[in-house]
Chain A
Amino acid sequence: MSSIPRLSMRGIGKSFGGVPVLSNVELTLEAGEVVALLGSNGAGKSTLVKILTGLYSRDAGTVEVDGEAVLFGKPADAIAAGVKLLPQEISVMPDLSVGENILLGDLPMKPGFGFKQVDYKTIHIRATELLAQLGFEALDTHQDVKRLSVAEQRIVEIARAIAGQARILIMDEPTAALTEQEAELLFAIIRRLKQQKVSVVYISHYMSEVFEISDRIVVLRDGRNAGDFVTRDTNKAEVLAAMLGATAGDLYPTEPPPPPGTDVLKVEGFGVRGKLADVSFTVRSGEILGIFGLVGSGVEVLGRALYGAVHSERSGQVTLDGRPYRPSTPQHGKEAGIGFVAAERKKEGIIADLTVRENIALPFQNRFTRGLFVSTEAETGHAQNWIRYLGIRTRGPEQKLRTLSGGNQQKVCLARWLVEGVKLLILEEPTRGVDIGARREIYGKLRELTAKGFAVVILSSDVEEVAGISDRSLVLDRGRVVEQFPRGVTPAALMAATAETQTA
């Protein structure tokens, strides 16, 4: 077929601070085609989407929409070219009406009293027309959007996206906040859009959705194309293999785990209201326990609840070193001997304007204080020690943390807890946004640290990571533990254990 594709991205390259994030990536879309874009965390999906929507500029490659070369310098350029993004978080104006929300980008005006004013009558007529295209002409365009259900708000967003002639619609985890029936409704809309020759890039972690709605599946891995499948000619195993790759083997330490020691943390029937229920497990010293769960499974709550950073009502029994343990603030967790590294490094981890030395010394500042004053020498000695041990690439302990790469910032966050008295490390997404070299080093050092007696709990939505590093692993789904695995579990087995892929 020699027809001009709706979208053609070729040879796309992008790097941040010298680290390549995308290299030579291709993505094509025919008119009316739904292409699922898959890849594990850090594979480059979001960077590619940001290039397509004009948020990032590309370093190399070409982008053509309907055969016309485009250079999106800012999001408005992409929107003008008919490339619309439906972000993961719903972004509607709750206090405006349905009609206003839909036509927000291009409000119809009319003359009157000598100046132009908003033409509300036309708004509601045009909004109803757009909703009719999606099959929802019954939605009252006069009501405030805050009174709609989440699914209806999604529909309003889609109507807004097609208001200005959408040619390409990018949906990022569109079902994240929807129930199963609501998701079905979304699929019906996507099918209608297909008939109207709108092309869709569909990003999701959920295999079953991808197989239900897409025509083609494009897989990215480590910033490169790793597979391009026609959906009806492939299967989940094949797609998973492309996502995970066969090269992952040497990323994880191969030395055998140290013999497990005493119980460090014992969790029985632990629950957090509305988020987690009946979670039980034990972590022994010398052991790495991996906890895998997709977004919304409770994986983002469990670690911080055990550390003391969650205020919601908790239930169940937790013992630390044989003593009952009920933390209600991070201070409690810290004093009890737990170190915690949060998932969102920039928001919850680093203090960018402090130096490497200051960041490392911060949680246990008392230990570096002599009398009234902080001892810079003590801090420097300690920091240099861990900079060397963890291989933190920095000009020295006085460098501002802001200027380090993600992987090195992550190592600094880890180094904070490597002091006497800390026996358990709780790490959320320990290698999110970390390049492959630093990941290997972090995994290796975690193994070494367990040999020194640390117990480690890793909470992650990266299935490969949990499979690769864990001595034992749990799978969380909808706030409950659904499976447990010994060392050597495959990523596919972990993924299959989530209810989503099981029932599909």
Chain B
Amino acid sequence: MATTETTVVAPSLKRRFMELLAKPWSGVAMLLVFYLILIAVFSILSPFFFNTRNMLQIGLNVAYIGLMAAAGTPLIIAGGLDLSVAAIAGLTGVMISLLVGLGVPVWVAVGLALALAAAIGVANGLFTTRLKLNPLITTLGMMSIVSGIALVLTGGLTRPLMIPGFNWIGSERLFSIPIPLIIMVVTFFALWLVMTKTKFGRFIYAAGGNAEASRLIGIPVERTVIVLYVISALAGAVAGTILGAMLGAAGPNAAGSQLLTVIAAIILGGTSLNGGRGSVWGTLLAVLILGTLNNGLTLLNVSSFWQDVTRGVVLMLAVSLDQLRNRALGE
């Protein structure tokens, strides 16, 4: 009574898809295709979509979000997570407005806000590495503290932020490209250099890929992660500065609603929530995709409430894809 076993599996469509997912470039390639399709679809549906003006507008709209997502990417690759980044952006605008009201020169005020952000980043880093607290809970707590302080300082009101010699950072253009967009692109480029060309970059991928192995070969895993929390917090502060300058106003929770966009962009960009894998270019494409979706849907007169739904759907699709990719890689 022998069982004949056949372990032959035809190379089904599913298997082929999984093999594709296992390729290192698959994430970025799929995003690029998706982005081009999106542009084509909106170009057909709306006559106002495909022109330089609107494209630059999308870039301006997503600049401060992209900044936060760019800095969050290496952090998640290294095994961290920062949910307080958007709250830091809100507090930064509020601080600048209040300090200037007290007679502090505006750029000094910006400097002080950046210093505070760095301190928040250090705190996030120390809590998660030295005390080994869960980063999700730690930075969720920090988000609540930071946005709470911003609300206390303003009584919940939005404050004016129209200061001579300041607002140009949000409104001026260099060679007809908006300054915020330039800042974002430069940030992406700088992070790409750091992550792929430097020793510190190697430590980021090593720490996230296998923290225990990295520690055992003498890599300063904790220091690496703490520095990345500081970078993320600083990016939040710069994003808050840019947003305040663009709007001419500082709301205590000005960027809060974009936290989900930031996280969605990083995950959609192919960065693994398990750490160790990802690239800033994937994040940049994802930021552009999410920004384009918003812009296109607005041009088509779709309610902004529906845009929340879209963003949630995209996020969940991205997470599912990440999970599938992990399975394809045999984890």
Contact = CB atoms under 8 A, between A and B. Distances in A.
A350 interface: yes
A350 B198 contact: no
Nearest to A71: B3
B132 interface: no
A171 to B, nearest CB: 27
Interface in A450-477: none
A93 interface: no
Tell me what chain A mostly uses at the interface: helix, strand, loop, or mixed.
Answer: mixed
Interface stretch (A58-66, A211-219, A493-501): A58-66
Contacts of B210: 347-348, 350-352
B1 A347 contact: no
Interface stretch (B112-120, B157-165, B212-220): B212-220
B329 interface: yes
Given A352-B210, A354-B209, A334 B198 contact: no
Nearest to A371: B198
Interface string B161-199: 000000000000000000000000000000001000111
A100 to B, nearest CB: 28
B206 A58 contact: no
Contact of B202 (A333, A350, A374): A374
Interface size class of B (residues with CB under 8 A): 20 to 34
Contact of A330 (B198, B216, B276, B277): B216
A443 to B, nearest CB: 23
Contacts of A329: 218
A351 B1 contact: no
A333 B209 contact: no
Interface stretch (A176-184, A193-201, A269-277, A358-366): A358-366
Contacts of B44: none
A309 B214 CA distance: 12
Contacts of A62: 2-3
Contacts of B330: 402
A374 B199 contact: yes
Contacts of A69: 1-3
A416 interface: yes
Interface string B15-55: 00000000010000000000000000000000000000000
A74 to B, nearest CB: 15
Given A309-B216, A362-B217, A374-B197, 4 more contacts: A67-B1, A334-B218, A350-B210, A362-B206
Interface of A: 57-60, 62, 64, 67-69, 71, 304, 309, 329-331, 333-335, 340, 342, 347-354, 358, 361-363, 365-366, 369, 372-374, 400, 402, 416
